[in-house]
Amino acid sequence: MSLMQRLFLPKREKMQRLPLERGPQIVVLGGGTGLSVLLRGLKRYTSNITAIVSVADDGGSSGRLRGEYGILPPGDLRNCMVALSSTENVMEKVFNYRFNKGELAGHNLGNILITALADITGSFENAIREVSSVLAIQGKVLPSTLENIVLEADLEDGSKVRGETNISQTRQRILRVRMIPENPRPLNEAIQAIREAEAIVLGPGSLFTSVIPNLLVPGIVEAIHQSAALKIYVCNIMTQPGETRGYSANDHLQAILGHSLPDLVQIMLVNDSLIPADQMEKYLREGTEMVYVDKDKILGSSVELISGELYQDRGYIRHDPDKLSRMIIECLYTNLKDRLR
């Protein structure tokens, strides 16, 4: 679809009726549950989606398979492929099925299938392609690197902690995270997708263990910086007890910029709607609270702050896929119009 066609698109109600293959090229970077939530919304607007996923996970089923079979952790990639599936409702139940007894207890069926396909096809990359084909996904799901990486964090008390699970559970403020080895090779397909993108979205997701790890892969930040795409950061709605306890929205933003480049983000999306009191009581007991949006600090920077009601309450607080994706699409088309003025 040409730029001029996009500028004269009908309003959002009709936009979803346009052929998905004519939708904008969007790259999203993250991992875990947050990214899959966003993908469920974006696939209603475009099939030109590339999800670049962190491979630092070392816990749960993914961690066990990683240790026993020497493959990359499949869990976050599985979640993203299921989210982009054309048969999401059926395949989500199949691929997310968790065994609850015997030697397979704790494993997801999808993780085991990816592990088996990696052995059958000869590579983890081929396994992801095969599963993507089976699920008939709308877009692509790619690991940021194919190398076996481990995260290490510097903490405020001067100590270090190694491993994604340990970092997420630390009670000390995290100053910086790094990869071991320090220079894993990026996936060429991921770099190419970033170069061709019209919008690049960071998050939502665990700040230090899902979003930032993608930025630590050499070449990723440089490709984002050089891209003409609109760069958007989606801030989490809630803090996390270990990683981001007490973090404001600006704290999240500064952590992103401190691990990349000062001008990497153009727009920051935040939730500005209050969470119901009964829900907040439960979260507060768990050491989690709403991310405070310190607007003055953000508005004083070069980053544009856009807020709205973005949460979804289904017994737990997460981003609403439709509200969030709609806001991203509107940001993109507004940017395209502004560039022609």
d(Cα 150, Cα 137) in Å, to the nearest integer?
29
d(Cα 301, Cα 56) in Å, to the nearest integer?
31
d(Cα 26, Cα 49) in Å, to the nearest integer?
5
CA 253 from centroid of its chain's CA atoms:
15
197, 225 in Cβ contact below 8 A? no
pLDDT of residue 51: 98
In this structure, the strands spanning 49-53 and 26-30 are: parallel
Which tokens belong to 295? 């607007």
d(Cα 237, Cα 220) in Å, to the nearest integer?
25
Express as a percent the part of the chain with pLDDT over 90.
74
d(Cα 235, Cα 329) in Å, to the nearest integer?
16
Three-state SS sequence of the chain: CCHHHHHCCCCHHHHCCCCHHHCCCEEEEECHHHHHHHHHHHCCCCCCEEEEECCCCCCHHHHHHHHHHCCCCCHHHHHHHHHCCCCHHHHHHHHCCECCCHHHCCCEHHHHHHHHHHHHHCCHHHHHHHHHHHHCCCCEEEECECCCCEEEEEECCCCEEECHHHHHHCCCCEEEEEEECCCCCECHHHHHHHHHCCEEEECCCCHHHHHHHHHCCCCHHHHHHHCCCEEEEECCCECCCCCCCCCCHHHHHHHHHHCCCCCCCCEEEEECCCCCHHHHHHHHHCCCCECCCCHHHHHCCCCEEEEECCEEECCCEEECHHHHHHHHHHHHHHHHHHHHC
- What is the domain partition of the chain in residue ranges? 3-54+144-340
Q: CB burial class (10 A; 0-12, 13-18, 19+) of residue 295?
A: middle
Name the one residue in this structure whose structure tokens are 């990639």.
Answer: 77
pLDDT of residue 276: 83
39-93 confidence digits (pLDDT tens):
999 999 999 999 999 999 998 899 899 989 999 999 999 999 999 998 767 777 8
For residue 1, what pLDDT band results from cuts at 50, 70 and 90?
very low
217, 184 in Cβ contact below 8 A? yes
4-43 confidence digits (pLDDT tens):
344 334 444 444 555 788 899 999 999 878 999 999 999 9
pLDDT of residue 280: 86
Q: CB burial class (10 A; 0-12, 13-18, 19+) of residue 304?
A: middle
pLDDT of residue 294: 96
Strand partners of residue 202: 29, 233
d(Cα 202, Cα 204) in Å, to the nearest integer?
7
- The mean pLDDT of 108-117, rounded to a whole number, is 94
Task: Classify domain 3-54+144-340 at the CATH topology level.
Answer: Rossmann fold (3.40.50)
| Mean of the per-residue pLDDT values of the chain | 90
Q: Residue 296 pLDDT more than 70?
A: yes
pLDDT of residue 88: 61
pLDDT of residue 287: 87
Q: Residue 337 pLDDT more than 90?
A: no
256-278 confidence digits (pLDDT tens):
999 999 999 999 999 999 888 88
pLDDT of residue 282: 86
Q: Phi and psi for 54 in degrees, rounded to 5?
A: -65, 145
